[in-house]
Every structure is written in C-alpha cells, then in structure tokens.
Amino acid sequence: MSTDISAKWTSVNAACQPLVDALIDNAEALQLEISTLSNGTRVVDAGINCNGGLEAGRLIGEICMGGLGTATMGTNSGFANWPWSVNVHAKTPVLSCLGSQYAGWSLSHKSEDSKFFALGSGPGRALAAREEIFKEFGYKDEAESTVIVLEVDSFPPVEVAEKVANNCGIKPENLTFILTPTSSLAGVMQIAIRVLEVAMHKAHELHFPLEKIVDGYGSTPVAPPGGDFMTAMGRTNDAILFGGQVHLFVDATDEEAKDLAEKMPSNTSSDYGRPFADIFKSYEYDFFKIDGMLFSPGKVIVTSTKTGKSFTAGELNQELLNLSFGL
C-alpha cells in the first residue's frame, strides 16, 4: 500500500480531545465514575461500578473514531421487532476506523494472583503506532495526552497504564483509560458504532486498495444490554453480522466496486447461518478457529464515484437477529 494515503491525515488525538473533555466534564450526567490509578492515569468507568448509558456509549464511540466520526441514535434499523439503531459516518474512514477505532492493541499483565487482558482501541494506538497497519499507512500521530478505550469488566493494573504511557511517549497522568463492559449500555452502543470499522477492516483483509475508499456510512441495530459476557458478545457481533448495513464510496472502476460488494457481506463466510455464540461454542471458544471472513456487515452497497454505478450484496436476516436477541 502506498504511504501517500496518510499524506494529508490530521491528528486523531487533537480531533478527539474536545470529546474526551466533554465526557469528563459531564461525567455525573452521563452516569460515569472517574478515578485515578496510583501513577496518575485517569480511569473513566462506563459500566463496571456505575450505570453508564447510551449517550455515554455514543460519545465513547466517537472518541474511538478519533474525533473524525459521528454517531446518531435512531429507530430505522430495518427490523420490525427491534427498531433501535445507530447511524455512523466517518470524515476520513480509513484513518478514523482503522487508524483509531479498530481494537488492535493487545494489552496484558500477569501477576501472582491475577491476569489482565484487553484489546485497546482509540487514538492512543496512533500515538504508539506499534501495530503493523501503521507501517502500511506511514502514519504516526504526535500529542502530549491520549485516550485508550478498553472493552473490559475489570480495572487495568497500573503496570498496563505504565506500558501504554511509555509506548505513547507521554506522562502517565496524561493518559485516560475508558472502560466499557460488553454487556453495559455504553458497551453495546460503542460496539454497534463499529459497524463501519468492521467493513473497513474487511476491505483491508480483502486487499482492496484502501486509498480508493473515499467515504463511508453505516447503520446497525444496537444489541440488548445485560446478561453474561458470552451472551453480550454474541449479540453485539450478531447485530452487525445480521443487521449491519454499510455504504462505501470508492474511487474505483465498476469491476472493482462490484467485486468488493460481492466479497464483503457476512453471508459469504462458511460460518454464516447461526448466532455468533453458537459458532464460538462449536469451536470450543477458540476465536481463531472462526472463519475471518465472517466479521462483516450483513448488507453492503458500494458506489463507484467514477461512474456513479452502485452494487449491492448481502442480506438483513430478521430470523437470526430475533434468535440472537431472544425476541
């Protein structure tokens, strides 16, 4: 991939800082709890020891997108039994979704009495630039403070904060962790907001030239909150697999646009056809045994900005969404 793709990219950390400030300033109204680790790292609890909420999850989703995306709640999911949905747009979709929102930073720590693991997302990834994808893009952000979002139900140990701050080249007190349990209101919302990111990641996996993706829009049902982790993980995945819709605008030929549309939807996967929790269980809870092509929106439209022609593929699956959501 040509590094020219990042030539005009802005700072995701600078773009999202006003959103982080708003989240902190309105923490009480958003039903969040703010605390600090022993090294001064700020921790925003969005659902472990507090309620969190949908608006908190919406703001956190926009923070994950590096301040370059917008998420709005609506009731146009396309499903009669579950109209609740979220609409997502990114100004610079490759940077916003893959350079910030994608949960690609593996963070872990093990002590004698505990283990911690999480995948970090948000603009801190671009500051550390430890993942291979940043070498592909030729992009590394610069900032004195940053934020990382963790989809976890426990607080990170101070050792993880030290590692992140060191990798980002900032002081620990200038780091913010935002914690969103999968089954919380904020959690199901911020995961739903990943519908466009899932499509961008699939395009990358399909080796589509990302510099040809000009714009993108997505919508998906927001999964029911609550239940145990496995139920919540299954439902949040199914919302996108069976109910997610994405429209990409590409500076490409009709042949390229058509090929991308036909290869992207979740129903192209050999594992499609059952709720995600059932698939996961059938592989003995080994995530890496699942066909990687499954992780995609249910329905895709790709429009060529060269010719104006659009190509549609995939489906919205009411039956499987009802089964997953318990409707």
Using one digit for the tens of pLDDT, what is the confidence trace for 82-138? Answer: 999 999 999 999 999 999 999 999 999 998 888 999 999 999 999 999 999 999 999
145: in domain: yes
The answer to whether 265 and 315 have CB atoms below 8 angstroms apart is yes
Same domain, yes or no: 32 and 153: yes
175-193 average pLDDT score: 97
Helix 229-243 vs helix 185-192: crossing angle, to nearest 10: 30
- The encoded tokens of residue 153 equal 């139900």
Question: What phi and psi, each to the nearest 5 degrees, are found at residue 59?
Answer: -65, -40
**Per-residue pLDDT band at 76 (split at 50, 70, 90):** confident
**103 contact partners, CB below 8 Å, separation of at least 6:** 119, 120, 121, 149, 151
Q: What is the pTM of this model?
A: 0.95
283 & 312 share domain: yes
Report yes or no on 19 lying in a domain.
yes
On whether both 149 and 284 belong to a single domain, the answer is no
Give the number of C-alpha atoms closer than 13 A to the C-alpha of residue 249, restricted to the C-beta side: 13
User: Does position 2 have pLDDT exceeding 70, yes or no?
Assistant: no
For residues 208 and 327, the model is more confident at 208
Average pLDDT over residues 182-190: 97
Q: Which of 166, 185, 193 is nearest to 63 (CA)?
A: 193
Residue 280 CA neighbour count, 13 Å, CB half: 15
Residue 199 maps to which CATH number? 3.30.1030.10
Predicted pLDDT at 238: 97
Same domain, 223 and 112: no
Q: What's the confidence (pLDDT) of residue 113?
A: 85
Q: How many domains does the chain divide into? A: 2
The larger pLDDT score, comparing residue 225 to residue 59, is at 59
Q: What pLDDT score was predicted for residue 3? A: 55
Helices 229-243/318-325 angle, 10° precision: 170
CA distance 135 to 132: 5
Task: Verify that 16 and 97 share a domain, yes or no.
Answer: yes
157 and 298 both lie in a single domain: no
Is 190 domain-assigned?
no
Same structural domain, 170 and 205: no
Tokens 């069976």 belong to 242
pLDDT for 264 beyond 90: yes
The reply to whether 17 falls in a domain is yes
Q: Above 70 in pLDDT, residue 278? A: yes
Same domain, 233 and 164: no
Same-domain status, 145 and 246: no
Is 166 within 8 Å of 183 (Cβ atoms)?
no
Residue 136 has phi, psi (to 5 degrees) of -60, -45
The reply to whether 44 and 157 lie within a common domain is: yes
Range of the domain at 150: 3-67+93-179
Is the same domain home to 61 and 210? no
pLDDT given for residue 1 in this prediction:
47
In a domain, 43, yes or no: yes
Residues 270 and 130 in one domain: no
Name the domain boundary from 114, 149, 179.
179
Helix axes 185-192, 54-64, angle to 10 degrees: 40
Residue 83 resides in a domain: no
What's 105's domain CATH number?
Answer: 3.10.340.11
Residue 264 lies in a domain: yes
User: In terms of DSSP H, where are the helices of the chain?
Assistant: 12-25, 54-64, 93, 124-128, 132-137, 158-168, 185-192, 195-205, 229-243, 254-263, 276-282, 318-325
Taking Cα atoms as reference points, which of 204, 232, 230, 234 lies closest to residue 216? 204
Domain end among 179, 213, 231:
179
Is it the case that residue 47 has pLDDT exceeding 50?
yes
- Answer whether 238's CB lies under 8 Å from 276's CB: yes
- Boundary-marking domain end, from 179, 209, 237: 179
pLDDT (mean) for 65-88: 94
Residue 120 falls inside a structural domain: yes
